Amino acid sequence: MRTMKKEDMKTRDILMLALFGVFASGFAAAGSLSLDGSWGFRFEEGKPLEEVAKPDFAAMDTIPVPACYDMMPKWYMKRGTGLYRRSFTLARPMKDAVLVVDGMGVRAKFELDGKDLGLHPYPYARLEIPVGHLAAGEHSVFAAVDNILSWPRVKLARPYYDFYFYGGFYHGVKLVEREPKIFVRTLDYKTGRIEVEVENGGDSAVTLAFDGGQEVNVKLSDGRVAATVPNFRLWSPDTPNLHRMSVQLSTLNFKLSTRFGIRQIEARDRKIYLNGKELFLKGFNRHESDWLNGAATGEALMLQDIQRLKALGGNFIRGAHYQQCERFLDLCDENGVLVWEESLGWGNGQGYVNNNFPPSELKDAEFCEMQVKETRDMVRASFNHPSVVIYGFLNECASHKKECKSLVDTLAETIRAENPGRLVTFACNITDGDICCTNMDIVSFNAYPGTIPMVPGDNAQFRKSVSESFNGIVARFRQRYPEKPIMVSESGCGGEFGRRGEYSSPNTEEFQDEYLTNIFETLWANPDVVGFSIWQMNDGRTRERFGGKAVSAMFGGSIAGVYDRLRRPKLSSKTVEKYFKMK
């Protein structure tokens, strides 16, 4: 690959960016600087970043950030490495800068002014990469983003995972000044009592103010202090009230600020309670995905999905199967949507996938260490979002195996050690022989009776199969776990938009509607079930042609959405609305 001299490289970048009508340089006071916009770009097909990550690459194109490069016509569905570079200008120095990346895929290497910022192998995660001091003036940032799914280079993203891994930056890049993090815990939802934790706060004196009101001077003890929010209002799906808190440390010359909600989520006596009231979870599994733009979904699309959920009478989204982006959680906070957030995993340790894609990740020490890190980072990133009421991990893992239980228990304790005030679970599809639900707050299971495999029979047989299967699974879990709440974390089936037929053949809209009706009638009549999240909200791309023996989806994607890939409602949407509004 030809390289360029620094002067030529800078001139080439400016000319390329000017040609596309955007000059990639921004000005901001010390604090934060968005690096979104147009970057110089080059795609190296089939090559991992280790072979091509050279900051002085010749930029042949430009590309926006955020965007998925493998959704662009020029590099559509291609695997390889995208090389990015742009310049920016700081009006003032940054004392201790951090590069924040809100989701990328699937590995990325960064440099800033020639300084190596490391390799980051955490798809979808919110990366906070230490940079250090930056002087006022012009700077250059480089990134190599690789979307090749190859073990052992890539351990958290496997080709058999039942969703598509896109290449690029999903939700933006920015520089921020490092500041202590604030974590807010609800101590008593009845009185508005909270605990404020300030990272590295020690025993400092602090000044708190809520919602722009009167300041209160308090003293931290080991970084924590309890306080009562004046005129507090509870957060719930019906009344998503939010509070703003500012924190002034005696050791800082600026104020910290965070938004939070007061609410308490509990699992006890076979039920889930929010603010002391019994809660039934009803909603969808949702991928952060768009057929045209991949994982780089915009805020408008996120809000459209939320508004569709609320219009149906739903209150719940399971963020399948990875960390959710910051803005989506903001919108869920603001619109009263309960969220299950989970770290990245799918089918790990299961023979039906590892036989085709060895080795078993559960026996790999680095994979397990990465799971712990990404789960802890996820919890800390979404800590102050009241919408997040459940944390999960390792979707459909081999929960009948001892090595799986060891990791599941470690991940559960990792979450609880942060004391986030959330419930812990994972989506289990080993409904006989599971040994991992013992340490969960909720027993959550995935089941697809009559459709995986596709053996529905006639209408009566189909209805009987669904009823006997779900009620049987619930009864067995109830016998094993007498007091735990039980929910169905996944079920649903395909229904191709526009494919209609009087006989309700598989994959027609009528068949999907019949199946969901059978599920609703069974679950809504079972007092032991506390929630149901439909698989899934929207049709979307899965493995396409890259899943080896795991390729089985129609048209390279899933048609199990209640909405199609363009978010158009299918016949089943009316049935979903009918049953959601019953609860």
- Tokens 């995986």, located at residue: 452
Count the Cβ atoms, other than its own, within 10 Å of residue 52: 18
Contacts of 35 (CB under 8 A, 6+ apart): 26, 65, 86, 88, 141, 172, 173, 174, 175
Q: What is the pTM of this model?
A: 0.94
The pLDDT score that the predictor gives to residue 16 is: 38
What average pLDDT values come out for the chain (583 residues) when binned by 10 residues?
48 38 32 95 98 97 98 97 98 96 98 98 98 97 97 95 96 96 98 97 95 94 97 98 95 89 98 98 97 96 98 98 97 98 97 89 97 98 98 98 98 96 97 96 97 92 97 98 98 96 91 98 98 97 74 75 97 98 95
The pLDDT score that the predictor gives to residue 214 is: 92
Q: Is 138 helix (H, G, I), strand (E, B) or coil?
A: strand
Contacts of 427 (CB under 8 A, 6+ apart): 318, 342, 392, 395, 396, 444, 445, 446, 489, 490
Q: CA torsion 284→287→292→298, rounded to 10°?
A: 90
The pLDDT score that the predictor gives to residue 533 is: 98
The pLDDT score that the predictor gives to residue 170 is: 98
The pLDDT score that the predictor gives to residue 5 is: 53
Structural domains of the chain in order of their starting residue, each with its CATH number: 6-177 (2.60.120.260), 266-450+458-487 (3.20.20.80)
Q: Is 120 helix (H, G, I), strand (E, B) or coil?
A: strand
The pLDDT score that the predictor gives to residue 356 is: 84
Which residues face 108 on adjacent strands? Answer: 120, 145
Rg (CA), the chain: 24
Phi/psi of residue 255, nearest 5 degrees? -95, 145
Angle (nearest 5°) at CA 280 between 274 and 286: 100
The pLDDT score that the predictor gives to residue 22 is: 30
- How far is 579 from 233, CA to CA, in rounded Å? 30
Contacts of 406 (CB under 8 A, 6+ apart): none
- Helix 509-524, helix 572-580: angle, nearest 10: 10
The pLDDT score that the predictor gives to residue 544 is: 79
